[in-house]
Amino acid sequence: MSPSPSRVATQATRGVPPSTAGDLDAADLPGSAALGRDWEPFADPGGHEAGFRGNGTWTRERDADTVLLEVTPIGCAAAVYVPSYPKPVRALEGTYRHPSGGGAVTLLLQFAAPAHARRFFAGHRAVVTGCRAPDNLPDHAPTRLDIVPRVDENDLLVDVRREYGRGASPLRWTEVVRRSGPYVGMLIVGLPESESQPTPGQLTATMRGSMPH
């Protein structure tokens, strides 16, 4: 998953990942219709820069070590404390595309115990709430990520992300993170500003309707 729009994978390309992770499968992830009109599942072909080879489906198992690196956003103006996340025992990713050029990624993490899921959720909250871009950042400045929390509850986070500066993504990203028992589900949806943006309520309902309990 790439919850930060700036994340670029650097690990060497590995074998073809399976489309399931243990007993987690596509039924445990949001369907494309739940994201809104015109969204479709996307079979990511992968490649050397992506760090994996596609399996021909829209879901793939993720390596626990690399996925923890990729859930941490990059491009924050101030130094952000990166917590020592507990490692999930299983991780499953799904990818989607929109005809406007938008994209979405969902990630379901299964931890060994609910306490581990709580630690991960608390650590991610600390990162999300500490990543703001300076006001009036000039267009030629290095790319900076700005994360604005919209919902911050005991088991639910929703934030909106934009990039500013040189090479900034034209997309606006909305992320929802939900914790339920030993599971943490993450969904990030990126669309051009001209498109109708998903609401926090819509994405929250999408996650609640798909995650195992």
**CATH code where residue 97 lies:** 3.40.1000.70
Find, among 30, 120, 116, 19, the residue nearest to 68 by Cα.
120
CA 124 to chain centre: 11
* Per-residue pLDDT at 14: 61
Domain assignment present for 79: yes
Residue 37, burial from CB neighbour count under 10 angstroms (0-12, 13-18, 19+): exposed
Domain assignment present for 177: yes
Give this prediction's pTM.
0.89
Cα distance between residue 14 and residue 172, in whole Å: 31
Domain assignment present for 5: no
Domain assignment present for 165: yes
Domain assignment present for 4: no
Domain assignment present for 132: yes
* Per-residue pLDDT at 131: 87
Domain assignment present for 20: no
Can you list the positions of beta strands (E) in the chain?
A: 40-41, 46-47, 52-53, 59-61, 90-97, 103-110, 144-152, 156-164, 171-180, 183-192
Domain assignment present for 206: yes
Q: What is the chain's pLDDT, residue by residue, as a tens digit (213 residues)?
A: 444 444 433 344 468 999 999 999 999 999 999 999 999 999 999 887 777 889 999 999 999 888 888 888 888 876 666 678 999 999 999 999 999 999 999 999 999 999 999 999 999 998 888 888 777 777 778 888 999 999 999 999 999 999 988 888 999 999 999 999 999 999 999 999 999 999 989 999 999 889 987
* Per-residue pLDDT at 117: 97
* Number of domains present in the structure of the chain: 1
**Range of 84's domain?**
26-210
